[in-house]
A and B are shown apart, each in its own frame.
Chain A
Amino acid sequence: MNRWRRSVDEIQARKRQVTECERALEALCKVTACFQQMAISIGSNSDGSFLREEMDETRALAHRICTGLHRRLVPLLTERVTEPGQEDRLQVERMWVLFLTGLENLQQDLHKASDLIDRFPLKQRNDRRALVNTGASDGVTGVSARAASVQTPWLAVEVAQNPDLKTHITQIDALVKEMLQKVSIPFWAVEATQEAWVEGAQSQDAAHDQDETLEEMMVVSEDDQMSGCCQPLNCKLGCMFCLST
């Protein structure tokens, strides 16, 4: 009787850990997306010390999520697989593959960001002259707020040293290499849970309709002769005739 209850407890604990990891994966996606939005502004005229500080904080958060998730996924994978947890195993393998992809994505963004920061140092006053005029104004407050709203899903607050950029990069490189060698999972056996094209068909909130006009805004530009609003979705040829007049 005791043995039965214990295995039920084990199953529940495992389920809880798996859900934690799923949520951590979503949090990682969120944070990397915000980091990329900020990295896009490096070297442009909206670059500044505020941007760089926000990037550091976002990066530190990403680091915490990554190390925590790694620490939790490895035992889930290397545990002896008992009968009831079989479909669990597939899910955990899937999370492993997605985590690895996310790490590689973050790794690439970090490399790029590091390169750009080296090329556009902002230490002196006239370094700002070198920044590229891209037409963007400072817009990262919303993004950084979004990044800051992400919380690590585990309850225990872990003491972590926030590494600086170069150390972070070497740590991630080492982590990815280690992950590739440690657990042998057939990557290509993981299948997507979503069909193709599904994400476009899902209904989004009303803010979506505003985005249609973004495309139109880019086409109906300042040219005075183009009074009629040409729908870019209808005829591409039509657009070209418009532009050639």
Chain B
Amino acid sequence: MTIRNVRDHGQRFRPRMACLKKVESVMLEMQDPKTGVKSQPQRLVITTIPHAITGEDIVAWLTNCYSIEAEEAWALGTMLVAFGYIYPLQDHKRLVIKPDASLYRFQTPYFWPAQQWPVEDTDYAIYLAKRNIRKKGTLELYEQVQYNSLHKWMNHKWDFIVMQAKEQYRAGKERKKPDRVVFDCQERAYWVVHRPPPGTVSAMDYGLERMVDPNTEEKQTSDFFRRIMIFTQQSIMRPRVKSSVSIGALVKYSVTYNKHDPFLAPCLPSNPWVTDDVTYWLLNMANVEIPTKMRVERWTFSFGELLSDPRGRDDFRLFLKKEFSGENLAFWEACEDLKWGTAATMNDKAQQVYKTFLTRGAPRWINIDGKTMEVTVKGLKHPHRYVLDAAQTHIFMLMKKDSFGRYLKSPVFKDTQKRAICPDQHMFSVSQLEANARKRRPSISPIIVRQLEQEEKARMATSGPVDITQVMSKLSNKGKEVAPSKK
């Protein structure tokens, strides 16, 4: 009934997590009675439980064993805790190593994370039911939410879950008191790792699932060798670039984007994924009036960056409007619309583009060279999604070489740059972080966002780009008949 036993062809194999094997060998070294970590008994109210280890001992052992700095040992220790191989005895929801006298204990191998066994929801349901029995209904808020959701989705198994929870509870009572405490701690730590409470950072992200089981050895049939041959042939035929060139490009990219990478430099005001505070996203929305300094700086990196940011594109459009050369951008946007639009509207869109931009005497005629124009017009006889690609690339390069430079020196851009804001970094205390986690709300629905976008587009269309014929008639003051402006 679970997916594991049904022969489907979906992607359900977890990728090999090589780090787990390495962590396990570290764990085993730590057990050694002579060269491992020193353990001490933990004194509780009525009993003593052996094999507790302090955070500072762990960090010191790692520093000695691997000849690394204390900071790196601390990071390594935190990783051991985050994966669930060691669990903290106090403050069990924060999976970090505190390099002081706080106590930790080793997790039993049954509860170690394994690559081939994903953690089942059935087991979590049994655990929650067991906890419910023990605590007579006072579970934490996130546990209650999970319980209700599992009760709904696993309703057909629920009787078994409750039965098994009761039996496990009774079986657990057969053990001696200190062992029961240890087991409860172990189980609780296991579920903190694999079903983290809000505010706990989880280390269990493993990326996409795979089609083939990475643990099975592939049989070396003739098919296998044929694939290897094709792969090698293609590798030989690939075009090459000197490593100095490619590395230079990589270095240039890294240097340029260094301060903009949220892993390497702090997000201002704060990274919403870490602090649960969404100011960063609100300040960087598509239709915001005043952009942030970092965003404006990003526009100067390349023309592609400017165009792909909707706020940047708006700014650029404003600049082009002042220069009366908005038709290039309008054409580029129409091409994008064609590429990404629905198949049903493609024909109409293509015809519209032709009438507006390409034909002789069109209201917003763009200036592309003869050969491209010929190719495009021929393609438009049987329009498809990418028929305007050549023209679009040409216009893109035109804008990049010509308008972009002028834009960066223009008063429009300089004004935007001056007004751009630079928010201060948030400094949240731990209780504020918890409050943030509780106040999380979903963002506005994408349906509403799409409606707003379409209204915006309609409004822009009515406010009317200036037709070239209108401009010409105004300038030359001839009695030409004015083509109706686009509605």
Residues of A within 8 A of B (CB): 25-26, 29-30, 32-34, 36-37, 39-45, 94, 97-98, 100-102, 104-105, 108, 111-112, 115-116, 119-120, 129-137, 139-140, 142-143, 145-146, 173, 176-177, 180, 187-194, 196-202, 204, 207-208, 211, 213-223, 233, 237, 240, 243
Report the separation of the CA atoms of residues A116 and B407 in the bound assembly, to the nearest whole angstrom.
66
Report the separation of the CA atoms of residues A120 and B105 in the bound assembly, to the nearest whole angstrom.
19
B49, A135: Cβ atoms under 8 Å? yes
B109, A33: Cβ atoms under 8 Å? no
Report the separation of the CA atoms of residues A204 and B165 in the bound assembly, to the nearest whole angstrom.
14
B133, A131: Cβ atoms under 8 Å? no
B168, A33: Cβ atoms under 8 Å? yes
- Interface size (B, Cβ < 8 Å)? 81
Known contacts A37-B175, A43-B108; A177/B5 CB under 8 A: yes
Known contacts A130-B28, A137-B179, A214-B184; A102/B164 CB under 8 A: yes
User: Of all chain B residues, which has the CB nearest A207?
Assistant: B173
Known contacts A37-B168, A42-B110, A105-B122; A221/B39 CB under 8 A: no
A221, B90: Cβ atoms under 8 Å? yes
A38 CB → nearest B CB, Å = 9
Tell which of A116, A134, A191, A217 touches B156, judged by Cβ atoms closer than 8 Å.
A191
A40, B181: Cβ atoms under 8 Å? no
Residues of B within 8 A of A (CB): 1-2, 4-6, 27-28, 31-33, 39, 42-47, 49-52, 89-91, 103, 105-111, 114, 117, 120, 122-123, 129, 132-138, 147-148, 151, 155-168, 170-176, 178-186, 430-431, 434
Tell which of A112, A133, A202, A220 touches B110, judged by Cβ atoms closer than 8 Å.
A112
Report the separation of the CA atoms of residues A133 and B105 in the bound assembly, to the nearest whole angstrom.
8
15 A-B pairs within 8 Å (CB atoms) are namely: A25-B163, A37-B174, A98-B160, A101-B157, A105-B122, A105-B160, A105-B164, A135-B106, A136-B183, A197-B147, A202-B133, A213-B45, A218-B184, A221-B42, A237-B431
A240, B110: Cβ atoms under 8 Å? no
B101 CB → nearest A CB, Å = 9
Tell which of B39, B110, B147 touches A39, judged by Cβ atoms closer than 8 Å.
B110
User: Of all chain B residues, which has the CB nearest A98?
Assistant: B160
* Consensus secondary structure, chain A interface: helix
A201, B136: Cβ atoms under 8 Å? yes
Report the separation of the CA atoms of residues A222 and B52 in the bound assembly, to the nearest whole angstrom.
11
A199, B166: Cβ atoms under 8 Å? yes
Report the separation of the CA atoms of residues A198 and B137 in the bound assembly, to the nearest whole angstrom.
9
B185, A41: Cβ atoms under 8 Å? no
B117, A111: Cβ atoms under 8 Å? yes
Report the separation of the CA atoms of residues A189 and B156 in the bound assembly, to the nearest whole angstrom.
7
Sort A-B residue pairs by CB-CB distance and give the 6 closest, nearest first.
Answer: A142-B174, A43-B109, A192-B158, A33-B167, A222-B43, A200-B132
Known contacts A134-B51, A199-B129; A243/B91 CB under 8 A: yes
Report the separation of the CA atoms of residues A40 and B160 in the bound assembly, to the nearest whole angstrom.
21
User: Of all chain A residues, which has the CB nearest B93?
Assistant: A236
Tell which of B31, B129, B181 touches A130, judged by Cβ atoms closer than 8 Å.
B31
B156, A142: Cβ atoms under 8 Å? no
A40, B155: Cβ atoms under 8 Å? no
A187, B156: Cβ atoms under 8 Å? yes
Report the separation of the CA atoms of residues A140 and B174 in the bound assembly, to the nearest whole angstrom.
8
Report the separation of the CA atoms of residues A187 and B159 in the bound assembly, to the nearest whole angstrom.
13
B181, A218: Cβ atoms under 8 Å? yes
Report the separation of the CA atoms of residues A119 and B109 in the bound assembly, to the nearest whole angstrom.
10
